[in-house]
Each structure stands twice: as C-alpha cells, then as structure tokens.
C-alpha cells in the first residue's frame, strides 16, 4: 500500500528546522545530531525534504494505525544522504480526521 494522496503530502519546514534537525531540541536533539553526521543540517532542511519526498513518499506503507486525531501511516525506507551513504529511517504520517492530505508527523533513524 502507498501513502494515500501522497502527491499532496505536507512536510512542514518548521517541523524539520525546529525539531528534526535542531541539535539543541529537548526531544529531537539526539536524532538531529545523527542526521547531521549524514549531512543533514538545519540550514539545509530543503535537502531532507526533497529526500523524504523522493524515497519515503513513494515507498510502501509498513504500518497503518488509527488514532484519536486521524489515521497514521508508518513508512520504513532508506534515505540516500548528502554524504552518499544510505540511512534507514521511519517516517510517520497522519491524515487528520476530516481531511484527506497526509502530513509528516516525525522522522527517526531506524
């Protein structure tokens, strides 16, 4: 199964800059430091967004779960990183109740 309406998937720049790639973030700092070792840095968040769109938005969904807020989709696939190495990551997407557009909730190394 593919992510529904993946052609309209939303990846919030604030989520990438403010959490996923922020090495000082209280909860996201550890993954941000790992992503930095693979060439993803806060000021180059567009590269991570492009790589997610290329490798994750088009990948198969591994897990589908209902939540009180909508339906969540988990995708596990490698990213081809800026340093030329692959990094296996999981992305979590949600289609909020009453909408039909998936949005990125989080990303973490697997």
Handedness of CA 33, 92, 56, 17 (dihedral sign): negative
| C-alpha to C-alpha distance for 22 and 32, rounded to whole angstroms | 6
pLDDT value of residue 28: 87
Q: Is 1 part of a structural domain of the chain?
A: no
Q: Is 35 part of a structural domain of the chain?
A: yes
For residue range 75-104, list pLDDT tens digits in order: 999 999 999 999 999 999 999 999 999 999
Domain that holds residue 71: 6-109
35 close to 21: Cβ distance less than 8 angstroms: yes
- Among 87, 65, 69, 64, smallest CA distance to 77 is for 87
User: How many domains is the chain partitioned into structurally?
Assistant: 1
Q: Which helix (H) or strand (E) holds 96?
A: strand 86-96
- Among 5, 85, 77, smallest CA distance to 40 is for 85
The parts of the chain modelled with pLDDT lower than 70 are none
Q: Is 64 part of a structural domain of the chain?
A: yes
Q: Is 62 part of a structural domain of the chain?
A: yes
Whole-number Cα distances in Å, 8 to 25, 36, 46, 48, 99: 28, 27, 17, 17, 12
pLDDT value of residue 23: 95
What does pTM read for this prediction?
A: 0.94
Q: Is 96 part of a structural domain of the chain?
A: yes
Q: Is 87 part of a structural domain of the chain?
A: yes
């Amino acid at each position: 199964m593919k992510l529904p309406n993946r052609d309209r998937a939303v990846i919030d720049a604030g989520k990438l800059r403010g959490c996923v790639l922020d090495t000082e973030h209280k909860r996201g700092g550890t993954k941000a430091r790992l992503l930095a070792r693979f060439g993803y840095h806060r000021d180059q968040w567009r590269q991570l967004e492009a790589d997610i769109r290329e490798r994750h938005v088009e990948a198969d969904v591994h897990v589908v779960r209902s939540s009180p807020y909508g339906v969540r989709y988990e995708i596990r696939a490698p990213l081809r990183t800026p340093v030329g190495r692959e990094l296996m990551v999981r992305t979590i997407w949600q289609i909020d109740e009453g909408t039909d557009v998936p949005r990125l909730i989080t990303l973490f190394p697997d």
